[in-house]
């Protein structure tokens, strides 16, 4: 398993990125505030518009470091990646299988079934820790039925419809999982573009970060993140990364957001309400969120299929590797990630 390197998050909007030899240099108002050797990081994510130097972009691409631009609110803008790596035969197999409707549907059902099962496991864990909650228990049972129905679907349109119904059922009881600060974090279901409340602002940011890590992981193992099996192919859309993100949302994203709220690491004061522009984290709130995200990625867990302990941050890489093995026919099926 590869080594987990750091991702450098630039949260100050006035930051400008440049290079000095083999070092990344961060400047604010033409004053250097931070530097780090390029060999110590695997990605740079910047919130803001001040920009980067052409020399810095070349430093990133020469060292296989991804560079992702997000708006100050955390919305995805663009991503720069270096030379494509991996076996061209693997990508040819991926492209061929993406045109195989039966094969694609099977993988899509596994990923969405895993997503719904992970939703259910989060609800069941809450019941184990805090006792029976009739609404949560009923939702968990409904999700079990949705998962079984998903695995029996005969077409992608029905699959997408059932996935949406399952997600709505899960998010209906999401507020019940907030054991602290529930009044300060009202939540009436998922909304986005822009998020209209603090919980959705954090969920959207978490899902963006997950998709970014999954995209990098797919590139690393040689797969094309833009050719998927569930999400529609569109120019600029990392469809395969979005496919794989589905099974990881609950474990990497939802649990982090709930933890930040329940541990009072994030409070309602960490958000800015911008009317029609939605809700976004303050600069300090974003730093708290990203620090928790980085710390979470360093935690070790035992991968249920590989049977070895790895940092949580390598989970996207592990799943990308397993998908590549399945596409190459090295294993008999895709081992979707399931929360224990």
Domains of the chain (ranges; CATH) run: 6-80 (3.100.10.20), 88-327 (1.20.120.920)
> 71-82, pLDDT tens digit by residue?
766 667 777 776
Q: Would you state the pLDDT for residue 40?
A: 81
How do strand 271-273 and strand 279-281 relate by DSSP bridges?
A: antiparallel
Whether a cis peptide bond, with omega within 30° of 0, leads into 194 is yes
Residues of the chain with pLDDT under 70: 1-5, 48-49, 72-75, 82-86, 233-236
What pLDDT is recorded for position 89? 86
231-235 CB contacts, 8 Å cutoff, 24+ apart: 233/98
SS3 204: helix
pLDDT at 145: 93
The pLDDT value recorded for residue 317 is 85
Largest CA distance in the chain: 60
pLDDT, position 71: 72
pLDDT (0 to 100) of residue 252 = 95
The pLDDT tens digits for 21-65 are 899 888 888 888 888 898 888 778 887 667 888 898 899 888 888
Determine the pLDDT at residue 243: 93
**For the whole model, what pTM was predicted?**
0.82
DSSP 8: E
List the one residue out of 11, 71, 3 whose CA is nearest residue 41: 3
What pLDDT is attached to residue 199?
94
Residue 236 has a pLDDT of: 64
């Amino acid at each position: 398993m590869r080594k987990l390197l750091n991702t450098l998050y630039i949260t100050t909007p006035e930051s400008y990125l440049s290079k000095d030899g083999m070092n990344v240099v961060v400047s604010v108002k033409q004053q250097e505030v931070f530097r780090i050797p390029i060999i110590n990081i695997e990605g740079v994510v910047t919130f803001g518009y001040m920009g980067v130097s052409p020399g810095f972009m070349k430093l990133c691409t020469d060292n296989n470091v991804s560079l992702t631009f997000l708006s100050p609110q955390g919305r995805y803008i663009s991503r720069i990646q270096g030379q494509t790596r991996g076996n061209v035969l693997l990508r040819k197999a991926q492209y061929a299988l993406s045109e195989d409707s039966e094969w694609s549907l099977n993988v899509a059902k596994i990923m969405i079934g895993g997503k719904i099962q992970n939703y259910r496991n989060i609800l069941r864990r809450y019941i184990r820790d805090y006792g029976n909650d009739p609404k949560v228990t009923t939702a968990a049972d409904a999700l079990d039925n949705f998962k079984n129905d998903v695995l029996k679907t005969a077409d992608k349109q029905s699959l997408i419809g059932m996935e949406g119904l399952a997600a709505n059922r899960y998010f209906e009881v999401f507020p019940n999982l907030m054991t602290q600060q529930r009044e300060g974090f009202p939540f009436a279901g998922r909304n986005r573009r822009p998020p209209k409340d603090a919980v959705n602002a954090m969920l959207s940011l978490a899902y963006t970060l997950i998709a970014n890590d999954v995209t990098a992981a797919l590139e690393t193992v040689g797969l094309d993140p833009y050719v998927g099996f569930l999400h529609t192919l569109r120019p600029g859309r990392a469809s395969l990364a979005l496919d794989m993100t589905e099974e990881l949302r609950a474990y990497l994203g939802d649990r982090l957001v709930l933890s930040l709220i329940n541990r009072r690491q994030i409070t309602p004061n960490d958000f800015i309400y911008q009317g029609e522009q939605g809700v976004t984290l303050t600069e300090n709130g974003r730093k708290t969120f990203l620090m928790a995200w980085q710390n979470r990625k360093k935690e070790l867990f035992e991968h249920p299929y590989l049977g070895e302990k790895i940092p949580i941050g390598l989970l996207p890489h592990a799943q990308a590797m397993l998908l590549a093995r399945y596409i190459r026919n090295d294993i008999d099926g895709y081992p979707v990630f399931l929360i224990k």
